[in-house]
């Protein structure tokens, strides 16, 4: 739903961001052939051609590195106050300026970035694992389990995302781990439904029937056949969940329900700066731009991954 | 070597036919893809006479569908483009006239039916409405009259309860019924030429025969010409008057149906015929295959495109392109260097050919 | 079809019930509505006790819940725990305000988004398409509150300064001018503009992408090719065959989004101080007023459930291949 939380399940929102579709004759029908390359090599090649995704990957790695090394790179601590330098604009001594307590924006941006990126990654991975496992079980075994999963997800997906998160955040504290847990416990649901859907449809396909006929056990079917075929969709959705998690965490923190000070996150830095934005615009520009850049790169990356991995998408660039 | 080969014909080989409906001359259609430019149709010429059935056969990717789409004007720019040639309907070059005029001809004088009737019909509109739409696109008639005609057409192609079924949606019909609907739609304005692109491929074998019968029935009733595109030689034998064989974007043989089956002159045609079972021949233990795969159409070799797979290929086949040349019977052309050799036909051992060519050089 | 609808509605009732229990539990455990009173040194402990008794806070958790539930299902939503305002009155007012904002933004977004998507698909790979794609990416990646802050800066500060205006062109806070009475359309519009734009931008990004993808799929479909082969005019091909099919997924998505408007504007309302459902929610989460919070959650859930149902029905109406038993 609106408000930056965008309740559309991650895969659903950006699936329309497909950048191309088929032209009438396919490679096969025109007598062209890829010479015996594995799926993985083909996927890697396709991904490499998506320059924007590659560039985004580079930027993200750089960001991750910078924030991970915040302790080394940052000129000041994130709570370090310099009361003689309050509300300075960007300058030599403080690269990106200071806030009311004289804290260095650049350092806070780095430490805050660490929190925001950790949250994004942590949520995506845990929600990804949880959602995949539960969705796979529901889709594969069906029956009671599937029913329960569907009803539970129905319940939580009927309540606006932010509402659920705000209510949940009352129960927990405001630490990074708390927020990761809260977000993960909610964001696994859209992914679970997607995986469930995939398993449900894959289950009916003939190659699964064939596998059963030669006596493959359930485990084997799941791990050798169903999972690899869903992997592309899963990876894409997990990537997009990173974007959603970062945006949601910053929104929550901005509203005061997320990461609590003094731990900086880009979200609560924005909240801090909001009141002073008319006289100290830099307190608002930089954290917001940081979020925008990160999420944009993640979305480009997700798009590139989708082009490379999602078999349901057809693409020929004319 | 020259003594052995007949002189090559220029690209355009007109057949002496009576009333010619369509003349295609040196048609070239290309597609721009990620990998480069694909020459889907690379210089094809043929003509279709009124009321006759011309079959175009070949394997997937040989350019038969693209030829049909080119004739209809359905090649999608910017990826696809007709780069040269002419397509003359009753003398008028369709590639040179105004798009509006072309659209007026499309569906009215020249119609087309497609391979998969499920995806070819719009799933959200009623069947009767889709037929009526074609009528209303070209004739100024009230909706009710168009609808009535649609119902009549459905009756004509053998759909029971036509009045009721016209109100159904495509997914309410079986595959064969849907194809009948497509046929009804295509003939709604009594076109002179009907192009049928693999009309039976997506159907059960038993239904295939029914659909072909419908096609033939309709053809005789309205006297229209049919271009039947297929890769199924069994279908061709029962239905076609003349047959054109395509390979890798080029025409490799053309003759009337009896000649093609009785005295084929191109090794590819032999391969095609040899890979089907025939009632009039002893049963085979194993169907013959043509080894290898068609060449890439990205950068077609200058020489014979079939050479890599041809059991009789000689050095010249890999150096010089065999233009279409006339074979002994009238209206029979083939693109092979050796068509004039005595008893050049299937079953002739390759070694024999090597010996003969060595003798001459 | 009717049975399908009834079945869906019946399943929803337990969902609502469960949600209300969860919300109540969380609130009950985490907030003490009497806290404000308790810390006041001038109020004696006995008075605090009385206060709590009056509000029914000295009963057990489940007792409080069922007392509330009993009243709720009879339609008696009662009064807020802290003021004498009626719950239904407060919620109604907030809902109307949110709907005004929501529907405005939504309508703009739907019209613009669909248009942009169609053009981008028909002119694939053109400059327009490229710009539309980039724009959508940015709009989907930008933190909405940051975007809102920028708009506030722009209209509330910079433009006023640069153009030497007395009043901003568009107001950056509130729904009406403080202290105004009556209904002044222009004033309302000037207040509505910025929050509606913020809302619309997010939705436009989604709708234009959906429409583009849907349209592209349809443009490359076999039945479109058949329509052209029939000699139908191109405009009719695009509209009657193309868009008629391409709009189906958007319509259902739009219906779902409409359902989410009731409770989905929390951030926008917070930034622009718009007195809607979102602002109400934040307020009651702060003070623990479950008399309002519970009906709030139930109402927003009901919206979502009903509109999801509408979306499914619409889908069946628009696509004859989908017919429910």
Residue A117 tokens read as 């990126």
CB pair distance less than 8 Å for B137 and C232? yes
What does the alpha-carbon distance between residue A129 and residue C293 come to, in Å, rounded to a whole number? 33
> What is the per-residue pLDDT for A231?
83
What does the alpha-carbon distance between residue B249 and residue B42 come to, in Å, rounded to a whole number? 5
- Of the candidate ranges A46-55, B85-94, B351-360, the one whose mean pLDDT is the lowest: B351-360
Report residue B9's pLDDT band, with 50, 70 and 90 as the boundaries.
very low
Interface list for C 237-296 with A (CB within 8 A): 253, 257, 260-261, 263-268, 270, 278, 281-282, 285
Mean pLDDT of C292-299: 86
Does A55 have pLDDT greater than 80?
A: yes
CB pairs under 8 A between A and B: 52
Give the total residue count for chain B.
Answer: 361
CA dihedral A178, A184, A189, A191 (to 10 degrees): 170
CB pairs under 8 A between B and C: 73
> Which among A113, A125, A132, A25 has a CA at the least distance from the CA of A71?
A113
C287 vs C309: which has the higher pLDDT: C309
Q: Does C231 touch chain B (CB under 8 A)?
A: yes
> What is the per-residue pLDDT for B28?
93
The CA R_g of chain B, rounded to the nearest whole Å, is 22
> What is the per-residue pLDDT for A123?
94
Angle, helix C61-73 to helix C290-318, in steps of 10 degrees: 50
> What is the per-residue pLDDT for A29?
45
pLDDT in tens, C169-196: 787 787 777 777 777 788 888 888 899 9
What does the alpha-carbon distance between residue C316 and residue A77 come to, in Å, rounded to a whole number? 59
> What is the per-residue pLDDT for A305?
84
What does the alpha-carbon distance between residue A58 and residue A50 come to, in Å, rounded to a whole number? 13
- Of the candidate ranges B18-32, C68-82, C251-265, the one whose mean pLDDT is the lowest: C68-82
Mutate to test the interface with C, among B32, B124, B182, B184 (most CBs of C within 10 A): B124
Subunits adjacent to chain C (3 or more Cβ pairs under 8 Å): A, B
B169 CB neighbours in chain C (<8 A) are 320-321
- Answer yes or no: are the C-beta atoms of B226 and B215 closer than 8 Å: yes
What does the alpha-carbon distance between residue A107 and residue A98 come to, in Å, rounded to a whole number? 10
Largest CA distance in chain B: 75
Mean pLDDT of A216-244: 82
C231 CB neighbours in chain B (<8 A) are 103-108, 134, 137-138
What does the alpha-carbon distance between residue C177 and residue C189 come to, in Å, rounded to a whole number? 11
> What is the per-residue pLDDT for A30?
42
- Of the candidate ranges A6-15, B164-173, C1-10, C28-37, the one whose mean pLDDT is the lowest: A6-15
pLDDT in tens, B159-181: 999 999 999 999 999 989 999 99
Mean pLDDT of C247-257: 90
> What is the per-residue pLDDT for C63?
77
- Of the candidate ranges B63-77, B297-311, C105-119, the one whose mean pLDDT is the lowest: B297-311
CB pair distance less than 8 Å for B297 and A27? no
What does the alpha-carbon distance between residue A207 and residue A230 come to, in Å, rounded to a whole number? 14
Distance of residue A219 Cα from the nearest chain C Cα, in angstroms: 34
CB pair distance less than 8 Å for B80 and A316? no
What does the alpha-carbon distance between residue B322 and residue A116 come to, in Å, rounded to a whole number? 69
CA dihedral C174, C180, C186, C187 (to 10 degrees): -20
Interface list for A 246-305 with C (CB within 8 A): 247, 250-251, 254-255, 267, 270, 274, 277-278, 281, 284, 287-288, 291-292, 295-296, 298-300
Nearest to A31 among B32, B61, B76 (CB): B61
Distance of residue C199 Cα from the nearest chain A Cα, in angstroms: 6
Q: Does A2 touch chain C (CB under 8 A)?
A: yes
Interface confidence, given as ipTM, is 0.83
User: How far from each other are the two terminal CA atoms of chain B, in whole angstroms?
Assistant: 6
Q: What is the mean pLDDT of chain C?
A: 84
pLDDT above 70 coverage of chain A, percent: 82
What does the alpha-carbon distance between residue C275 and residue C260 come to, in Å, rounded to a whole number? 17
Strand order in the sheet with B92-93: B36-49, B20-33, B80-89, B92-93
- Answer yes or no: are the C-beta atoms of B296 and A34 closer than 8 Å: no
B194 CB neighbours in chain C (<8 A) are none
Does C168 have pLDDT greater than 80?
A: no
> Which among B210, B225, B224 has a CA at the least distance from the CA of B179?
B210
CB pair distance less than 8 Å for C319 and B106? no
- Of the candidate ranges A60-74, B131-145, C16-30, the one whose mean pLDDT is the lowest: C16-30
Does B277 have pLDDT greater than 80?
A: no
Interface list for C 113-152 with A (CB within 8 A): 124-125, 133, 136-138, 140-146, 149-150, 152
What does the alpha-carbon distance between residue B62 and residue B43 come to, in Å, rounded to a whole number? 12
What does the alpha-carbon distance between residue B70 and residue B106 come to, in Å, rounded to a whole number? 12
Interface list for B 245-274 with A (CB within 8 A): 248
Does B300 have pLDDT greater than 50?
A: yes
C157 vs C115: which has the higher pLDDT: C115
B351 vs B266: which has the higher pLDDT: B266
Distance of residue B103 Cα from the nearest chain C Cα, in angstroms: 5
CA dihedral C258, C263, C265, C266 (to 10 degrees): -170
C257 CB neighbours in chain A (<8 A) are 1-2
Residue B252 tokens read as 């490799």
What does the alpha-carbon distance between residue A153 and residue A164 come to, in Å, rounded to a whole number? 12
Classified as helix, coil or strand, C86 is: strand
> What is the per-residue pLDDT for A37?
58
Residue C316 tokens read as 């069946």
Distance of residue A35 Cα from the nearest chain B Cα, in angstroms: 12
Beta bridge partners of B333: B254, B326
Mean pLDDT of C85-91: 84
> Which among C294, C270, C269 has a CA at the least distance from the CA of C284?
C294
Mean pLDDT of B185-213: 90
The CA R_g of chain C, rounded to the nearest whole Å, is 25
Full-model pTM = 0.79
Does C38 have pLDDT greater than 80?
A: no
What does the alpha-carbon distance between residue C274 and residue C310 come to, in Å, rounded to a whole number? 28
- For residue B292, the chain A residue with the least C-alpha distance is A31
Beta bridge partners of B69: none
Distance of residue A18 Cα from the nearest chain C Cα, in angstroms: 7
> What is the per-residue pLDDT for B147?
94
pLDDT in tens, A106-151: 888 888 888 899 999 999 999 999 999 898 888 888 888 888 888 8
Interface list for A 26-45 with B (CB within 8 A): 27-33
Q: What is the mean pLDDT of chain B?
A: 84
- For residue B134, the chain C residue with the least C-alpha distance is C230
Q: Does A244 touch chain C (CB under 8 A)?
A: no
Q: Does A207 touch chain B (CB under 8 A)?
A: no
Q: Does B32 touch chain A (CB under 8 A)?
A: yes
- For residue A24, the chain B residue with the least C-alpha distance is B76
What does the alpha-carbon distance between residue B202 and residue B179 come to, in Å, rounded to a whole number? 10
The residue with tokens 């781990």 is A177
pLDDT in tens, C206-215: 999 999 989 9
Distance of residue A316 Cα from the nearest chain B Cα, in angstroms: 7
Does B7 have pLDDT greater than 90?
A: no
Mean pLDDT of B299-322: 82
Q: β-pairing, B225-230 with B242-247?
A: unpaired
CB pair distance less than 8 Å for A31 and B79? no
Nearest to C220 among A21, A163, A166 (CB): A21
> What is the per-residue pLDDT for B246?
93
Beta bridge partners of B31: B38, B80
Distance of residue B19 Cα from the nearest chain C Cα, in angstroms: 24
- For residue A20, the chain B residue with the least C-alpha distance is B34
What is the three-state SS of chain B? Answer: CHHHCCCCCCCCCCCCCCCEEEEEEEEEEEEEECCEEEEEEEEEEEEEECCCEEEEECCCCCCHHHHHHHHHCCCCCCCEEEEEEEEEECCEECCCCCHHHHHHHECCCEEEECCCHHHHCCCCCCHHHHHHHHHHHHCCCCHHHHHHHHHHHHHHCCCCCHHHHCCCCHHHCCHHHHHHHHHHHHCCCCCCEEEEECCCCCCCHHHHHHHHHHHHHHHHHHCCEEEEEECCHHHHHHHCCEEEEEECCEEEEEEEHHHHHHCCCCHHHHHHHHCCCCCCCCCCCCCCCCCCCCCCCCCCCCCCCCHHHCCCCCHHHHHCCCCCEECCCCCCEECCCCCCCCCCCCCCCHHHHHHHHHHHC
In sequence order, the 6+-apart residues with CB closer than 8 A to the CB of A69 are none
Mean pLDDT of A197-211: 81
């Amino acid at each position: 739903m609106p408000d930056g939380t965008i309740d559309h399940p991650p895969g659903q929102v950006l699936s329309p961001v497909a950048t191309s579709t088929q032209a009438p004759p396919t490679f096969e029908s025109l007598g062209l052939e890829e010479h015996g390359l594995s799926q993985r090599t083909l996927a890697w090649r396709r991904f490499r051609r998506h320059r924007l995704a590659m560039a985004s990957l580079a930027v993200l790695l750089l960001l991750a590195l910078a924030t991970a090394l915040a302790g080394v790179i940052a000129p000041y601590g994130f709570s370090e106050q310099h009361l003689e330098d309050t509300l300075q604009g960007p300058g030599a001594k403080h690269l990106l300026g200071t806030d009311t307590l004289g804290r260095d924006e650049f350092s806070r941006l780095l430490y805050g970035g660490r929190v925001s990126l950790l949250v994004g990654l942590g949520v995506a991975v845990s929600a990804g694992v949880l959602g995949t496992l539960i969705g796979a079980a529901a889709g594969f075994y069906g029956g009671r389990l599937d029913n329960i999963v569907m009803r539970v997800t129905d319940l939580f997906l009927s309540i606006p995302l932010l509402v659920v998160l705000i209510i949940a955040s009352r129960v927990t504290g405001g630490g990074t781990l708390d927020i990761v847990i809260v977000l993960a416990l909610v964001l696994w649901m859209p992914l679970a439904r997607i995986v469930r859907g995939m398993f449900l449809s894959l289950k009916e396909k003939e190659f699964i029937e064939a596998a059963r006929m030669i006596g493959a056990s359930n485990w084997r079917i799941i791990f050798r056949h169903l999972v690899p075929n869903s992997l592309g969709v899963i990876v894409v959705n997990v990537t997009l969940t990173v974007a959603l998690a970062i945006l949601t965490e910053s929104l929550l923190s901005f509203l005061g329900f997320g990461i609590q000070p003094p731990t900086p996150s880009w979200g609560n830095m924005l909240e801090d700066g909001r009141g002073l934005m008319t006289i100290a615009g830099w307190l608002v520009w930089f954290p917001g731009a940081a979020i925008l850049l990160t999420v944009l790169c993640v979305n480009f990356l997700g798009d590139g991954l989708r082009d490379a991995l999602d078999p349901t998408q057809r693409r020929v660039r004319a | 070597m020259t003594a052995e080969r007949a002189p090559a014909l220029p690209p355009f080989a007109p057949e002496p036919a009576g009333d010619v409906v369509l003349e295609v001359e040196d048609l070239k259609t290309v597609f721009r893809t990620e990998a480069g430019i694909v020459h889907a149709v690379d210089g094809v010429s043929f003509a279709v006479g009124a009321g006759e059935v011309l079959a175009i056969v070949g394997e997937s990717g040989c350019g038969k569908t693209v030829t049909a789409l080119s004739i209809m004007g359905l090649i999608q720019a910017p990826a696809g483009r007709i780069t040269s040639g002419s397509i003359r309907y009753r003398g008028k070059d369709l590639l040179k006239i105004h798009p509006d005029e072309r659209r007026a001809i499309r569906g009215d004088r020249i119609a087309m039916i497609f391979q998969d009737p499920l995806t070819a019909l719009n799933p959200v509109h009623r069947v009767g409405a889709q037929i009526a739409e074609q009528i209303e696109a070209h004739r100024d008639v009230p909706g009710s009259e168009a609808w009535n005609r649609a119902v009549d057409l459905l009756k004509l192609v053998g759909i029971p309860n036509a009045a009721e079924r016209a109100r159904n949606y495509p997914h309410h019909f079986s595959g064969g019924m849907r194809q009948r609907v497509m046929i009804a739609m295509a003939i709604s304005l009594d076109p002179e030429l009907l192009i049928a692109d693999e009309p039976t491929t997506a159907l059960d074998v038993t239904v295939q025969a029914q659909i072909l019968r419908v096609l033939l029935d309709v053809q005789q009733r309205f006297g229209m010409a049919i271009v039947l595109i297929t890769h199924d030689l069994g279908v061709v034998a029962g239905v076609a008057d003349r047959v054109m064989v395509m390979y890798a974007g080029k025409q490799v043989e053309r003759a009337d149906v009896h000649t093609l089956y009785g005295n084929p002159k191109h090794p590819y045609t032999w391969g095609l015929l040899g890979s089907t079972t025939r009632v009039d021949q002893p049963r085979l233990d194993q169907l013959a295959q043509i080894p290898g795969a068609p060449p890439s159409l990205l950068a077609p070799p200058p020489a014979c495109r079939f050479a890599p797979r041809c059991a009789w290929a000689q050095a010249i086949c890999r150096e010089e392109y065999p233009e279409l040349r006339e074979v002994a019977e009238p209206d029979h052309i083939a693109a092979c260097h050796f068509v004039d050799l005595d008893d050049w036909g299937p079953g002739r051992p390759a070694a024999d050919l090597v010996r003969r060519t060595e003798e001459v050089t | 079809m009717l049975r399908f609808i009834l079945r869906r509605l019946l399943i929803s009732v337990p969902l609502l019930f469960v949600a209300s229990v969860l919300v109540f539990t969380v609130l009950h455990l985490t907030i003490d509505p009497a806290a404000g009173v308790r810390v006041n040194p001038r109020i004696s402990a006995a008075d605090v006790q009385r206060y709590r008794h009056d509000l029914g806070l000295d009963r057990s958790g489940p007792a409080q819940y069922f007392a509330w539930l009993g009243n709720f299902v009879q339609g008696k939503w009662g009064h807020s725990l802290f003021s004498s305002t009626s719950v239904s009155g407060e919620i109604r007012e907030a809902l109307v305000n949110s709907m005004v904002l929501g529907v405005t933004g939504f309508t703009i977004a739907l019209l613009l988004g669909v248009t942009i998507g169609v053009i981008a698909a028909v002119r694939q790979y053109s400059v327009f398409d490229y710009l539309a794609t980039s724009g959508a990416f940015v709009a989907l990646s930008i933190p909405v509150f940051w975007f809102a802050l920028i708009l506030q800066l722009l209209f509330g500060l910079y433009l006023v300064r640069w153009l030497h205006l007395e009043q901003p062109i568009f107001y950056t806070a509130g729904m009406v001018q403080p202290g105004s009475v009556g209904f002044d359309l222009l004033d309302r519009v000037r207040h509505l503009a910025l929050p509606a734009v913020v809302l619309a931008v997010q939705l436009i990004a989604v709708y234009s992408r959906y429409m583009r993808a849907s349209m592209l799929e349809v443009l490359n479909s076999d039945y479109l090719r058949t329509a052209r082969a029939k000699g139908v005019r191109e405009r009719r091909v695009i509209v009657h065959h193309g868009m008629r099919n391409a709009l189906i997924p958007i319509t259902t998505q739009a219906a779902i989004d409409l359902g989410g408007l009731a409770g989905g504007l929390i951030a926008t309302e917070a930034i622009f101080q718009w007195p809607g459902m979102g602002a109400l929610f934040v307020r009651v989460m702060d003070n623990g007023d479950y008399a309002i919070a519970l009906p709030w959650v139930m109402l927003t859930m009901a919206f979502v459930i009903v509109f999801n149902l509408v979306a499914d029905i619409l889908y069946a109406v628009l696509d004859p291949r989908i017919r429910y038993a």
